[in-house]
Amino acid sequence: MRSALLLFSHHLRISIGLRELPKLCPECLPETLETEYFEGVPGQEPPRLKGPVSPETFDQAARSGKVLILENASAGMALEGWSCERLAQEFPDAKMRREYDWVKNPEDRNLQVFSKVSWTSTLEQGEDASERLRQDSSAPPFAPFYWGVREHRNGDVGSKKVVKRIQELIASSVPSFMDKQNAASLFDNAEFWMGAKGTGARAHMDSHCISTLSVVLHGERRWRIGPVPRLAKGAGRSPDGEVVFDDGVAYQLGWKPMFEFSLKEGEAVLFPPGWIHETLNTAEGCTVALTTQFDIPIPVRYYRTFYNRLRRVGDLNACWEWMVGWPGAKPSKDLTKAKSMAEQLFTKKAEKLSQQELDFFDLNEDGNVTQKEFIDTFVAWAATEQAIKKEKRKNMPRCDMAWDEKVFAGKGGEL
Tens of pLDDT, residues 165-194: 999 999 999 999 999 999 999 999 999 999
- Would you state the pLDDT for residue 241? 85
Q: Are 399 and 253 in contact (CB under 8 A)?
A: yes
Between strands 145-147 and 48-49, the pairing is unpaired
For 146: left if phi > 0, alpha if psi spans -120 to 50, otherwise beta; the answer is beta
Coil, strand or helix at 316: helix
Angle, helices 371-389 vs 338-349, to 10°: value is 130
DSSP lists the bridge partners of residue 328 as none
Domain 38-298 in this protein, CATH class: mainly beta
Which residue in 291, 292, 294, 316 sits closest to 303, CA to CA?
A: 316
- Would you state the pLDDT for residue 17? 75
Q: Are 403 and 248 in contact (CB under 8 A)?
A: no
- Would you state the pLDDT for residue 16? 57
d(CA 91, CA 84): 10
Helix (H) or strand (E) holding 5: helix 4-11
Coil, strand or helix at 199: strand
DSSP tally for the chain: helices H, then strands E = 14, 16
Q: Where are the domains of the chain?
A: 4-8+12-32+301-408, 38-298
- Would you state the pLDDT for residue 4? 39
* CA-based R_g, the chain, Å: 22
Those residues of the chain that have pLDDT short of 50 are 1-15, 410-415
Q: Are 401 and 250 in contact (CB under 8 A)?
A: yes
